Amino acid sequence: MLNIKVGDQVLVRSGKDKKKRGRVIAISTKEKKAIVSGVMIVSKHVKARKVGDQSGIVRTESAINCCKLQLVCPNCDAPTRVAHRFDEKGTKFRVCKKCQKDIVQK
Residue 2 counted as domain residue: no
Residue 60 counted as domain residue: yes
Residue 81 counted as domain residue: yes
- Interval 8-63: pLDDT, tens: 999 999 999 999 999 999 999 999 999 999 999 999 999 999 998 989 999 999 99
Torsion sign, CA atoms 64, 68, 73, 77: negative
Q: What is the mean pLDDT of residues 64-73?
A: 94
Residue 25 counted as domain residue: yes
DSSP 12-68: E-SSTTTT-EEEEEEEETTTTEEEETTSSEEEEEE---STTPPPEEEEEE-EEEGGG
Residue 103 counted as domain residue: no
Residue 48 counted as domain residue: yes
pLDDT-derived band at 84 (thresholds 50, 70, 90) equals very high
What is the CATH classification number for the domain harbouring 69?
2.30.30.30
- Residue 55, pLDDT score: 93
Question: What's the number of domains the chain is made of?
Answer: 1
What predicted TM-score, i.e. pTM, was given to this entire model?
Answer: 0.83
